[in-house]
Chains A and B, each alone.
Chain A
Amino acid sequence: MQELYYEKLDQKVYKEKLDNGLEVVIVPMNTNNKFVIWGANVGSVDNKFIAPGEKDITLLPDGIAHYLEHKLFEQESGRNSLDTLTALGIDANAYTSNDHTAYLFGCTDNYEDALDEFMDYVQHPYFTEENIEKERGIIGQEIMMYDDEPEWAVYINAMKIMYHANEIRIDEAGTIETIKEIDKENLYKLYNSFYTPDNMYMVLAGNFNPKEAILDVKKRMIMPKHEGELKRIYNEEPKEIVQKQIERSMDISMPIVFIGYKDNDRTGNAIFKDIAVDMVGDIYFGLGSDFYREMYESGKIPSVPGVTYEFSKTYGHVMIQVKTPFPEEVVSKIQETIEKAKTEEIPDEDFIRYKRKMYGEFIRAFDNPDAVATEILSDYFKNVDIFDYLDAFEKITKKDVENILKEVFNEEYRVVSIINTNE
C-alpha cells in the first residue's frame, strides 16, 4: 500500500491497486463517519464502443448509463438494495454524470453489513424485462422534472449549439423516446463492457484504519481481472461551433443568460485552466469587480454571475451564467468586459487576495469525508489528481492566467443561450 502525506492539509492518503486491477484510495479522517464511493468510467458520453473480443461497434440508446444506475439496486431475490441499506440506517445513493457513474454510502454504524450489501449489488447486475419496464415510468418523471428546470434548459441548449457531434450534447438521462429502446440485452452489454475493475475506482474517506479497510474490501471483491480491451468511440468534433445563439421561452420570473466558450485544446493543463477561469470569474465578474458594481447598481443583474470551467477527457468549455431582465444588454457587457480584460494586466492585489481565498476554501473543503471522496473520484475520471491543486495554487502565475484568458475565452468559439420569460 502506498502512503502519501499532504502537509498543508495535514492529511495522509493511502493507495493500493488490487490483484484484479481495481484502484482503491483510503483517506483516514477525524470523524465517526465512514463514506465509500465506487465509480465506473462510463457516463452519458459513452454511447459507442467496441466490446472486448468484438469487431463491430455497439451503439446504445441515450440515457442508458443513468438507467443502469437505477437498475443496479435490484437484486435477484426481489429486494432492492437501496431498501436494505436504508433499513440499516445507511445513507445510500448513486448518480450518473457525463463521464462516470458512482454508487455511494455513508454511515456511522453497521459498516460491515453495509459494505456487504453495497459490494454485493454493484457486482451482481440483475435485469429483467419487468423491472426495466417499471423503471421507465419513474425515469420518465425524472426527465420531465429536469425539463421544467430553466438552469438545465439553458445549459443543454448551449451544448447543442456548441457541439456538432461531441457526446456532451446528449441529455444525461436520455429522452422519453430514447429510453424506450433500453432493454435487458443492452443493459447487460453496458455493464459487462464497462463495469470491470480496470475501469473502476473506489475511494473510502472517514473513520478508517487503512490496513483493515483494504482487507474488508478485498474480502468482498469477486470481480475477476479483466482481459481484453474495451475500445471507446467518440465522434469527431470539428473546431467550429454549430451556431452562435439559441433562445427559448419558459414560465420563469426572469430570463437566464448562458455564455459558453468551446475549448478545443485537450493537451493543456486542465487544473491551471480550472483555476484561471475561476480567478477570471472572481476578479472580473465577482463582488469586487467593476462589472458587478455597474450591473448590480443599475439593476441589470440581481447577483454574481457563475463562471466555471467544465471539463473531462473529451471536452472542455467555459460557462458563464446569470439571471437578468436585460439579456441582450448583459451579454454585450460580459463580452465587452472579457475583451477589455484580455488587454489588461491582472492587478497584483487582486491576484494575491484571490490566492489566499482559494487556499482557505480548499483547506476547508477537506473537512467533509463525503465531499473529499466524491471530489477525488470525479477528478480521477477527468484524469486529474485533486491533490495537484495545492501545488497549482502556488505555482500558477499571473501570466498563466492572462494567457488562458486570451486563448480559451475565444470569440470565435463563443455561444449564447437564453431562456426568456413567457410574457
Chain B
Amino acid sequence: MEYETREIKEGIKLHYLHTDKYKTDLIYLALMIPSKREYITHNALLPLVLKRGTKNYQTQYDLSKALDNLYGANLSATIDKKGDNLVNKFTLDLLDNRYALDDTNIIKGGLDIMFDIVFNPLLENGMFKSDFLEAEKEHLKYNIASKIDDKESYATEACVSAMFGETGYGLYKGGYLEDVDSINPENMTEFYNYLINNAEIDIFVSSKTGIEEFEKYIRENETIQRLSPRKGEFIEYDTVENARPILDTPKVITENMDIVQGKLVIGYDVRPKEKEFQEIGLVYNALLGSAATSLLFQNVREKEGLCYSTRSIFLRSKLSLFIKCGIQVENYEKVLKLVDEQLDIIRNGEFSDEDLSNAKQYIIALIKAVKEDQDAELAYYLGCELAKNYLSLDEYIDRVEKITREDVISIAGTVFVNTIYFLKSLE
C-alpha cells in the first residue's frame, strides 16, 4: 500500500507514504488550531522558545550537536495558514538508516529529538523559563519588523490584511508587535497547553523504511504516550453561502517607502456558481497569470515590457484571487487598466482553445511534478488531510482534463475587485 493512515490515538494520526526514490527520510509533525487574534503572537513565538531547550537537551547548543551527530539531521518549523486555520509544522529530514556508515539509528534518534522539542520543553516551576522567553521575545520583534525587507511579501500581507481584517486568514502569522511585551511565562504556558491538548496532530512520513518501524518508534515514545486524545477543531473553508459580501467600490490603498520599484497587489473576491470549483479556479488562474503562456505574462510583461515579475494566485479556502506585479511607479494607471483588460478577455471568452489547453497542460504538469519531489508530494497529502478532502493525484489530473471553456468563462464572471494595494517610492 503506497499511502496509509494509522491512528495512534484519537486526534493523533500517522500518515505514511512509501518511496523507493530517496535517500532522505522526510517527516512532518503538524499541529492545527483555529487562527485567532488572541494567541496569534504566542503561536509565532512558540517555535522560537521550543528550540531553546528540552528536558533532555537543556540548551539549543546541545540540541544542535545532537542533530549534527545524526548525520546532519535537519529540524525546522513553519507556520502556515490553511483558510482560517493555523498549522504549526515541524519538519525533520534525515539520512535513511541504511546509508549510515555505522549502526546509528538515525530515524529513532531524529524522532525522539523532534518529539522532545515539541512535547517536552524545558520548564521552570511548570512554566517556560523566563530568560528563554525574554530573549526570544526580542527575536520575535526583529522577525516581525523584518516584514518590510521583502517588499513583494510586505505588499501582499498588506492587501490580505485590508481584505480580511484582523481575523482568521487576515491575521499576520508572524504575530503583532504590540502583543509581544505582554507575553509572560504564565500566559505562554497556558497557550502551549491549549495547543498540545487540543490541536489535531498529524505525523507524515516519506521513507524507504517501512511503516511498522515508524509506528513502533512513535507509539513507544514517552512524550507521545503522555498526550491525551482530542477532537481537534477545524474551521471550514469559505463557501459562497457564508462568504462576506462583494464590495460596491473597491478599497484603494497606497503606501510609500524608500524603494525603486513599485509593488502592486490586487485582491479579488471569487464567487463560483459550481459546487466543485477547485480545478476550475486553478485552470482559470493558469490562463490568467500563473503560467508563462498566461495573459498577464504575455500581455503585461512580454508585449508591453511593463514588468519583470507578474503573477496571479487562486486561494480556494478564502474564495479569493490575487494579482501581483512589480512595476515602475508612473505606470500604475496603465497597468491597472491592462490587468482589467486581461480579466475581461476571459469573461468575454476571447481566449483561444490553445490558450485553454496550455493552461490545463501547465496545471497537469505541475501535478505530475509533485510526484517527483519528496517535499511537494508529502505536502500534497498534508493538504488533503488537513482540509479533510482526499483526492489522489491521478483523480486530480482527471478532473483538470475535464475543465471546459464554459467552466472558465463562468468563474471569470464571478471575479470582483475587492482591494487595490500599491507600495510606491517616496515622492
**A positions within 8 Å CB-CB of B:** 30-33, 80, 82-83, 86-91, 106-109, 134-139, 141-142, 144-145, 147-148, 150, 250-254, 286-288, 293, 296-297, 299, 302, 323, 325, 353-354, 356-361, 363-364, 366-368, 422
A-B pair count, CB < 8 Å, reads 162
Kindly state the separation between the CA atoms of A253 and B153 in the bound complex, as whole angstroms.
14
Known: A287-B61, A422-B258. Contact between A107 and B328, CB under 8 A? no
Q: Is there contact, CB below 8 Å, between B23 and A367?
A: yes
Kindly state the separation between the CA atoms of A358 and B93 in the bound complex, as whole angstroms.
14
> Can you give 10 contacting A-B residue pairs, CB < 8 Å?
A32-B371, A89-B368, A106-B369, A108-B368, A136-B305, A137-B304, A142-B309, A148-B151, A253-B149, A360-B71
Known: A148-B260, A287-B60. Contact between A138 and B147, CB under 8 A? no
Q: Is there contact, CB below 8 Å, between A89 and B361?
A: yes
Size bracket, chain B contacts: 35 or more
Kindly state the separation between the CA atoms of A287 and B73 in the bound complex, as whole angstroms.
14
Q: Is there contact, CB below 8 Å, between A251 and B372?
A: no
Kindly state the separation between the CA atoms of A288 and B95 in the bound complex, as whole angstroms.
21
In the complex, chain B residues whose CB is within 8 Å of the CB of A139: 308
Kindly state the separation between the CA atoms of A376 and B308 in the bound complex, as whole angstroms.
29
Q: Is there contact, CB below 8 Å, between A135 and B305?
A: yes
In the complex, chain B residues whose CB is within 8 Å of the CB of A82: 292
Q: Is there contact, CB below 8 Å, between A86 and B362?
A: yes
Q: Is there contact, CB below 8 Å, between B71 and A357?
A: yes
Query: Residues 153-195 of chain B: 1 if any A CB is under 8 Å from the residue's CB, otherwise 0?
Result: 0000000000000000000000000000000000000000000
In the complex, chain B residues whose CB is within 8 Å of the CB of A137: 304-306
In the complex, chain A residues whose CB is within 8 Å of the CB of B298: 83
Q: Which 3 pairs from chain A and chain B are nearest by CB? A: A137-B305, A89-B365, A360-B71
Q: Give the segment of B39-47, B138-146, B210-218, B342-350 that binds chain A.
A: B138-146
Kindly state the separation between the CA atoms of A150 and B146 in the bound complex, as whole angstroms.
12
Q: Is there contact, CB below 8 Å, between A358 and B72?
A: yes
When the two chains form the complex, which single residue of A33, A88, A134, A357 contacts B372, counting CB atoms closer than 8 Å?
A: A33
In the complex, chain B residues whose CB is within 8 Å of the CB of A297: 135
When the two chains form the complex, which single residue of B72, B257, B354 contacts A360, counting CB atoms closer than 8 Å?
A: B72
Whether B289 sits at the interface, judged by CB under 8 Å, is no
Known: A251-B257, A360-B99, A367-B374; 15 extra A-B contacts, CB below 8 A, are A83-B292, A86-B292, A87-B293, A89-B364, A108-B371, A109-B368, A251-B259, A253-B145, A299-B139, A356-B68, A357-B72, A360-B73, A360-B95, A363-B23, A367-B22
In the complex, chain B residues whose CB is within 8 Å of the CB of A364: 23-24, 72, 93, 95
Query: Residues 372-385 of chain B: 1 if any A CB is under 8 Å from the residue's CB, otherwise 0?
Result: 11100000000000
Q: Shortest CB–CB separation between residue A298 and chain B, in angstroms?
A: 9
Q: Is there contact, CB below 8 Å, between B24 and A357?
A: no
Known: A252-B149, A253-B147. Contact between A31 and B95, CB under 8 A? no
In the complex, chain A residues whose CB is within 8 Å of the CB of B151: 148
Q: Is there contact, CB below 8 Å, between B61 and A288?
A: yes
When the two chains form the complex, which single residue of A89, A148, A361 contacts B362, counting CB atoms closer than 8 Å?
A: A89
Kindly state the separation between the CA atoms of A367 and B376 in the bound complex, as whole angstroms.
14
Whether B227 sits at the interface, judged by CB under 8 Å, is no
Q: Is there contact, CB below 8 Å, between B302 and A80?
A: yes
Q: Shortest CB–CB separation between residue A265 and chain B, in angstroms?
A: 30
Query: Which residue from chain A places its CB closest to the CB of B372 in the assembled complex?
Result: A33
In the complex, chain B residues whose CB is within 8 Å of the CB of A353: 65, 68-69
When the two chains form the complex, which single residue of B71, B309, B365 contacts A107, counting CB atoms closer than 8 Å?
A: B365
Whether B27 sits at the interface, judged by CB under 8 Å, is no
Q: Is there contact, CB below 8 Å, between B72 and A361?
A: yes
Query: Which residue from chain A places its CB closest to the CB of B73 in the assembled complex?
Result: A360
Query: Which residue from chain B places its CB closest to the CB of A368 in the assembled complex?
Result: B373
Kindly state the separation between the CA atoms of A138 and B373 in the bound complex, as whole angstroms.
31
Whether B301 sits at the interface, judged by CB under 8 Å, is yes
In the complex, chain A residues whose CB is within 8 Å of the CB of B404: none
Kindly state the separation between the CA atoms of A356 and B374 in the bound complex, as whole angstroms.
23
In the complex, chain B residues whose CB is within 8 Å of the CB of A302: 139, 142-143
Kindly state the separation between the CA atoms of A139 and B307 in the bound complex, as whole angstroms.
8
Whether B235 sits at the interface, judged by CB under 8 Å, is no
When the two chains form the complex, which single residue of A88, A108, A363 contacts B95, counting CB atoms closer than 8 Å?
A: A363
In the complex, chain B residues whose CB is within 8 Å of the CB of A363: 23, 95, 99
Kindly state the separation between the CA atoms of A354 and B327 in the bound complex, as whole angstroms.
45
In the complex, chain B residues whose CB is within 8 Å of the CB of A296: 135
When the two chains form the complex, which single residue of B72, B302, B357 contacts A87, counting CB atoms closer than 8 Å?
A: B357
Q: Shortest CB–CB separation between residue B189 and chain A, in angstroms?
A: 21
When the two chains form the complex, which single residue of B146, B301, B358, B372 contacts A31, counting CB atoms closer than 8 Å?
A: B372
Q: Is there contact, CB below 8 Å, between A86 and B23?
A: no
In the complex, chain A residues whose CB is within 8 Å of the CB of B87: none
Q: Is there contact, CB below 8 Å, between B308 and A145?
A: yes
Whether B326 sits at the interface, judged by CB under 8 Å, is yes
Kindly state the separation between the CA atoms of A141 and B99 in the bound complex, as whole angstroms.
47
Whether B4 sits at the interface, judged by CB under 8 Å, is no
Kindly state the separation between the CA atoms of A251 and B148 in the bound complex, as whole angstroms.
8
Kindly state the separation between the CA atoms of A22 and B371 in the bound complex, as whole angstroms.
33
